[in-house]
């Protein structure tokens, strides 16, 4: 017999699986809590115990984002082999691309997810935890690509991360733009930081 904790975890997983499937098939707005309850074969109260509709969307994205970062080859902390602006730009894009691809694959859901986070109604645990991990990985790239100090690389990495989030929000506000446009926006945001690091290092 499963313990109460195991049963609760299994129910949560079932509710989130139904939420994810219905959000992707019908869209966030068109999906109701009753739809999720029926699909998961649980009561509406059970679904609400896991989360309201906005909370379920955040949880679905968080699980996907966490899985992406866990399976990313960058988590092995292998030495960064990238020098110069072009090499650094592509290395940074390699780190960010799985997350860019996730948002670009479901742009409507990504917009809804962003709107929920911006509203402050729900916070993303994994998104906040992922921030420092990504900044540390970006820091390694800036240090290798520009030869600047680790302190300067950390500053550039933090700015690059914020620029990446800004590019995501800007892209999300322009329906119909594809993943190539999003990647281009990220490159445009990153390139001046790599150039500035080079200039400071050469002074």
The answer to whether 50 touches 16, Cβ cutoff 8 Å, is yes
- Domain locations along the chain: 1-51, 52-202
Mean pLDDT of 129-141: 89
Mean pLDDT of 85-112: 85
Would the pLDDT of 51 be above 80? Answer: yes
Q: Tell me, what's the pLDDT at 203?
A: 46
Question: Which tens digits make up the pLDDT trace of 173-182?
Answer: 777 778 888 8
Strands, DSSP E only, in 21-98? Answer: none
Whole-prediction pTM: 0.75
Query: Any idea which of 73-82, 92-101, 139-148 has the lowest mean pLDDT?
Result: 73-82
pLDDT: which is higher, 100 or 199? 100
Q: Tell me, what's the pLDDT at 76?
A: 39
Mean pLDDT of 152-172: 88
172: closest CA among 124, 104, 119? 104
Q: Burial, 118: exposed, middle or buried (Cβ in 10 Å; 0-12, 13-18, 19+)?
A: exposed
Structure tokens belonging to residue 193: 């930081």
Q: Tell me, what's the pLDDT at 111?
A: 84
The answer to whether 103 touches 110, Cβ cutoff 8 Å, is yes
Residue 137, by phi and psi: left (phi above 0), alpha (psi -120 to 50) or beta? alpha
Structure tokens belonging to residue 13: 């997983």
Task: Report the Cα 48 to chain-centroid distance in Å.
Answer: 25
Query: Any idea which of 70-74, 110-114, 127-131, 173-177 has the lowest mean pLDDT?
Result: 70-74
Q: Tell me, what's the pLDDT at 159?
A: 94
Return mean pLDDT, the chain: 84
Mean pLDDT of 123-143: 85
Mean pLDDT of 142-166: 91
Tell which CATH classification among 1.10.10.60, 3.30.460.80, 2.60.120.380, 3.90.1150.10 matches the domain 1-51. Answer: 1.10.10.60
Would the pLDDT of 72 be above 50? Answer: yes
């Amino acid at each position: 017999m499963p313990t109460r904790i195991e049963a609760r975890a299994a129910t949560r997983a079932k509710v989130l699986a139904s939420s994810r499937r219905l959000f992707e098939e019908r869209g966030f707005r068109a999906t109701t809590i009753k739809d999720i309850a029926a699909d998961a074969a649980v009561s509406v109260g059970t679904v609400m115990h896991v989360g309201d509709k906005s909370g379920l969307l955040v949880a679905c994205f968080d699980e996907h984002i966490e899985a992406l970062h866990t399976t990313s080859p960058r988590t092995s902390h292998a030495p960064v082999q990238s020098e110069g602006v072009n090499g650094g730009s592509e290395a940074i894009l390699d780190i960010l691309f799985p997350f860019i691809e996730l948002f670009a694959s479901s742009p409507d859901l990504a917009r809804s997810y962003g709107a929920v986070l911006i509203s402050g109604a729900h916070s993303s645990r994994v998104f906040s935890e992922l921030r420092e991990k990504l900044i540390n990985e970006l820091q390694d790239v800036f240090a290798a690509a520009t030869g600047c100090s680790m302190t300067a690389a950390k500053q550039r990495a933090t700015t690059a991360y914020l620029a990446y989030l800004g590019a995501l929000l800007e892209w999300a506000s322009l329906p119909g733009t594809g993943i190539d446009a999003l990647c281009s926006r990220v490159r445009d945001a990153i390139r001046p930081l790599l150039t500035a690091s080079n200039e400071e290092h050469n002074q």
